[in-house]
Amino acid sequence: MFQRYTRLSDASLNHPRLCALVCCGGNLMAASWHTPLSREPFRYGIAVRAQNDTHHLLSTIGHCSLNFLDISEYETIDYTGSVHARDECKSEACGLVAPTCDANANPVFASALSAFGCRVRDILEMGDHTLFVCDVAEIFVNENTALMPTLFMGHGRYATLGEERLIVPRG
């Protein structure tokens, strides 16, 4: 029923991961390895590989915004996850509209369902990724409820929500 693997690189995972754009120092990087860590205070973790320019930017600048973009931006997300800041100015190429920004002047994009203003508080070596533990000082929630999350399925495959199931209140 299941294929068994011992290395992640051998297993093609079939579950979706939510896409985000890490916006740091004017650069944009696609990320799907990120997670909430604490509600109060609100802390969020972003795992970044050392060879990515975002690793150096986050380490030196110490703050970023994290934008959770609508599915219509899947090609933009994929582009920011395919080239490095050292080779191209991705933010210029993408042309995303940022009607506002966080307290550190990092962009909050119009096509984001939500976005966080993050300040790095801890940098933890995990292996081939580094976990940037961030304090989330600002949470932006888009009033446009028609936006749909972008889910990364691996190997250039993107999806969004298809069906919603609601829990009937107990008692």
Ligand X SMILES: Cc1cc2nc3c(=O)[nH]c(=O)nc-3n(C[C@H](O)[C@H](O)[C@H](O)COP(=O)(O)O)c2cc1C
81: contact with ligand X by CB under 6 A: yes
Task: Give the separation between CA 95 and CA 165, rounded to whole angstroms.
Answer: 35
Which CB sits closer to ligand X, 95 or 165?
Answer: 95
Q: How far is the CB of 143 from ligand X (least distance, A)?
A: 26
CB atoms within 10 A of CB 162: 6
Residues contacting residue 99 through CB under 8 Å, at least 6 positions apart: 108, 110
Q: How far is the CB of 132 from ligand X (least distance, A)?
A: 10
78: contact with ligand X by CB under 6 A: yes
Among 16, 44, 52, 132, binds ligand X (CB under 6 A): 52
Task: Give the separation between CA 105 and CA 116, rounded to whole angstroms.
Answer: 12
Q: Are 149 and 161 in contact (CB under 8 A)?
A: yes
Q: How far is the CB of 135 from ligand X (least distance, A)?
A: 19
| DSSP summary character for residue 90 | H
Among 44, 109, 116, 152, binds ligand X (CB under 6 A): 152
Task: Supply angle C-alpha 129, 117, 39, rounded to 5.
Answer: 75
Q: Which residue(s) pair with 167 in the sheet?
A: none
Which CB sits closer to ligand X, 21 or 147?
Answer: 21
The amino acid occupying position 57 is L
- Restricted to residues 89-128, the positions that interact with ligand X (CB under 6 A) are none
| DSSP summary character for residue 12 | -
Among 21, 23, 48, 118, binds ligand X (CB under 6 A): 48
Which CB sits closer to ligand X, 43 or 84?
Answer: 84
Q: How far is the CB of 150 from ligand X (least distance, A)?
A: 8
Q: Per the structure block, which two tokens stand in for 15?
A: 């579950």
| Residues found near ligand X in the complex (CB under 6 A) | 19, 27, 29-33, 47-49, 52-54, 77-78, 81-85, 129, 152
